[in-house]
Amino acid sequence: MPSGMRSHSLSIYSLISHVVRSYMVCSDSLRSCSCVLVAVSLWLCASPWVMPAQAQGPSYEMGRAPTDEEMRRLGSSISPDGEGLPAGSGTSAKGVELYARRCAGCHGAKLEGTKNAPSLAGGKGSIGTAQPDRTIGSFWPFAPPIWDYVKRAMPPGAGGSLTDDEAYSLTAFILHRNDLIPENEVIDAKSLSKVKMPNRDGFFPAKLDDINKQRCRVGTCK
Instruction: Provide the 10 A C-beta neighbour count for residue 92.
Output: 23
CA 204 to chain CA mean position, Å = 20
Site string for ligand HEC, 51-80 (x = CB under 6 A): ------------------------------
**CB atoms < 10 A from the CB of 7, how many?**
20
Q: Which of 80, 88, 118, 141 binds ligand HEC (CB under 6 A)?
A: 118
Q: Which stretch binds ligand HEC (CB under 6 A): 25-33, 60-68, 73-81, 101-109?
A: 101-109
Binding of residue 154 to ligand HEC (CB under 6 A): yes
Tell the smallest beta-carbon distance from residue 203 to ligand HEC (Å). Answer: 14
CA nearest neighbour of 103 among 177, 199, 197: 177
Only one of the segments 19-27, 29-37, 72-80, 152-160 lies at the binding site for ligand HEC (rule: CB under 6 A); that segment is 152-160
Phi, psi at 108, each rounded to 5°? 90, 145
CB of 35 to ligand HEC, least distance (A): 55
Q: How far is the CB of 74 from ligand HEC (least distance, A)?
A: 15
Packing angle of the helix pair 144-153, 164-177 (nearest 10 deg): 130
Number of neighbours of residue 202 by Cβ within 10 angstroms: 13
Please identify, among the stretches 12-20, 27-35, 71-79, 114-122, the one whose residues bind ligand HEC according to the rule CB under 6 A.
114-122
Q: Is 15 helix (H, G, I), strand (E, B) or coil?
A: helix
Q: DSSP characters for 111-131?
A: S--BTTB--SS--TT-TTSSS
Contact status: 106 vs ligand HEC (CB under 6 A): yes
Name which of 53 and 189 has its Cβ closer to ligand HEC. 189
CA atoms within 13 A on the CB side of 38: 5
Which residue among 50, 85, 143, 150 contacts ligand HEC (CB under 6 A)?
A: 150
Task: Return residues touching ligand HEC (CB under 6 A).
Answer: 102-103, 105-107, 116-118, 120, 135-136, 146, 149-150, 154-156, 170
